[in-house]
Amino acid sequence: MDEYRQLMQQLEAAWTMLNSADARQRELWADNLGDLLESAYLRHADAERVVGWLVQLAVTDGDYALRESALHAVAAAAVPYELPYEVLESLATHIYAFEPLLLEYVLFSLSATHDERARRPIETFLAHPDPDVRRDAELAMSELGGTRSWSASPSAL
């Protein structure tokens, strides 16, 4: 069995673990997937599938630490894979549900698509009461417009 096929089997096992009842196990697997995505080793279609899993966790799971790990992984994948907006669209749909500290990941990930559909959800945070969120929204707007304000990914990565 070739190395990539083994990796695909491990990804399927990771999907099972991401659905574990144990939040710490889910968080650990989200971190592991983030490391894999950051390495840019996956084929683009496989990376999009994994990011889709992580986006689903980020918008549906109630565990803050897990959502942070999932969003960190998504942001780590945004640069090497140039993800399409469709893969991240649920982040835009649920953007108002994220805590201010998680918005850095969400705003960056959406802006890294360079898709105009991300503009409206990002713009709404330019007037956010938290100055850090406003700054992140400004950086995201610059990134969306094609001027790289974040050198590779958010500073919290």
d(CA 151, CA 24): 31
Q: Which of 67, 75, 20, 17 is nearest to 51 (CA)?
A: 75
CATH of domain 3-144: 1.25.10.10
Give me the residue spans of the domains in the chain: 3-144
pLDDT per residue of the chain (157 residues) written in tens, 0 to 9: 588 888 888 888 888 888 889 989 999 999 999 999 998 899 999 999 999 999 999 999 999 999 999 999 999 999 899 999 999 999 999 999 999 999 999 999 999 999 999 999 999 999 999 999 999 999 999 999 855 555 445 654 4
d(CA 147, CA 157): 20
Question: Half-sphere exposure of residue 123, counting CA atoms within 13 Å on the CB side?
Answer: 6
